[in-house]
Amino acid sequence: MLQFDTLIIGSGLAGLSLALKLANDQKVAVITKKSLLEGASAWAQGGIAAVLSPEDSFDKHIQDTQIAGAGLCDPQTTRFVVEHGAAAIEWLIRQGVPFSRDSNSEYGYHLTREGGHSHRRIIHAADATGQVVQETIANKVIAHPNITLLEHYIAIDLITGQKLQRSDNNCYGAYALNSLSDEIITIAARNTILATGGAGKVYLYTTNPDTATGDGIAMGWRAGCRVANMEFIQFHPTCLYHPHEKSFLISEAVRGEGGILKLPDGTRFMPWHDERAELAPRDVVARAIDFEMKKRGLDCVYLDISHQPVEFLLEHFPNIYRRCMDLGINIARQPIPVVPAVHFTCGGLLVDQQGRTDISNLYAIGETSYTGLHGANRLASNSLLECLVYADSAAQDILSKPRGSIISLPHWDESKVTDADEAVVISHNWDELRRFMWDYVGIVRTTKRLERAQHRILLLHEEINEYYSNFHVSADLLELRNLVLTADLIVQSALSRHESRGLHFSKDYPDTLPLAKSTILSPANFKR
């Protein structure tokens, strides 16, 4: 049994930032399913939203966030995150993150603008902000003597008082599978943090990496945590459409710097759908693209930034320029073919301002959590900001607590299982799940489509639970188990919302109700 003061499950910006903030005072373990940088944070292109310019204000950033969130953003949470934004950026700068400079800016750094923002407030490192930030923080984490990194480990389940048949409501650690050796280890910790990212891989087309399988949300739910607003799945409007690129994102900042969305004949269409045109929030733009594609039978639409000079494109979008050029698309001369794709899980485990869940000593931060910041639709570049602010507040809470004792935990019991005889069941169920979620629980929904998805999820639940009970676990099985549960929570939440709001658009309930309410599901009341 391994023992640590704090166990962090996930190695995105939220998890690694928290590890650094704790490590001077605690022994910390970070487990990650693959290598340290294989997560969604490193894929973030646009940047981090924060009030950094004297022309901007907290109230303006709060207002933009609330408008994008369609009335569901928690006012206290939104103000808390926005007011701590500048401090979070200054912390990154002190860690050595080389954000793009601008000698003409009073702040000294280049600030760009993205959809839904009324001001330039996105600090970035060219068009690879996530990768640059993650590499900087990861190097600090690797070098810290109090941080133990366990790569290629996937958490199986949390170890709680209920699981141990104790009378308390505490989390004591987790079981984890080494996906390279198939060894299962027991990790005991005074505090456990779920920072595993979102659940984009529950859909067929997504900008997310393969690691985004809803693990933290599913583990937290099984342990007894409530979830909130799982129906709000953000589709990024502009994912590159190309047979050799399944998930390459074309940054929101391309539209922020003047990119125009066009039909194949060159006609601009966004002004027909919203007066903000290309700078409307993501849900509006994604629905507009989806409408035009279905109406005209198109495979894609086009994003045109070719009116900008090559020098501008190389300075602001070097990675996008190079990747497109490798595929034969010269963005300085021709438009980029794009389609919407699943990008962000706005709902998650319900937490308070310190990232605490319903289980004592269990926290959730980043995309795994629901803080109330994103409401019914996330404003561009607020996600990395949320990671940083809540990593800090969770760290402060953990460090303020007296250190509890670490109890002896039982080893993982494999005495009643055997080797799997038909692993093909996993790949078939994985493919079926992602396809019907894309077809039935996508950008535009109906009650009939949701009920079809729900019926298929019930069948998959039965098959997977039987498989899980009888055979040795594998990484693929664990991910599928978590994906099906997360899909179930998405569909249940969507069925319970009888209106259209933000990212949830229902043909059966096209109007928005006058009172905005969050969808909160509790394991204690779940029908399964």
Q: What tokens appear for 520 in the block? A: 């909160």
Q: Which residues contact 138 (CB under 8 A, 6 or more apart)?
A: 11, 16, 36, 37
Helix (H, G, I), strand (E, B) or coil at 166: coil
Length of the chain: 528
Cβ contact 178:185 at 8 Å: yes
Q: Give residue 470's identity as a one-letter amino acid code.
A: N
Dist. CA 23–CA 37, nearest whole Å: 19
Q: What tokens appear for 292 in the block? A: 């035009």
Q: Is the dihedral of CA 487, 488, 493, 497 positive or negative?
A: positive
Dist. CA 371–CA 358, nearest whole Å: 13
Give which of 437, 22, 2, 344 is closest to 193, Cα–Cα: 22
Q: What tokens appear for 50 in the block? A: 């924060």
CB count within 10 Å of CB 311 equals 9
Q: Give residue 71's identity as a one-letter amino acid code.
A: G
Dist. CA 289–CA 270, nearest whole Å: 8
Active site residues: 282
CB count within 10 Å of CB 31 equals 25
Dist. CA 267–CA 244, nearest whole Å: 27
Cβ contact 268:528 at 8 Å: no
Between the two ends of the chain, the Cα-to-Cα distance in Å is 33
Dist. CA 248–CA 323, nearest whole Å: 9
Dist. CA 477–CA 427, nearest whole Å: 9
Neighbour-count burial of 516, counting CB atoms closer than 10 A to its CB (0-12 exposed, 13-18 middle, 19+ buried):
middle
Q: Which residues contact 523 (CB under 8 A, 6 or more apart)?
A: 221, 222, 224, 225, 226
> What is the residue whose two structure tokens read 């096209």?
510
Q: What tokens appear for 378 in the block? A: 């996330």
CB count within 10 Å of CB 185 equals 17
Dist. CA 80–CA 329, nearest whole Å: 42
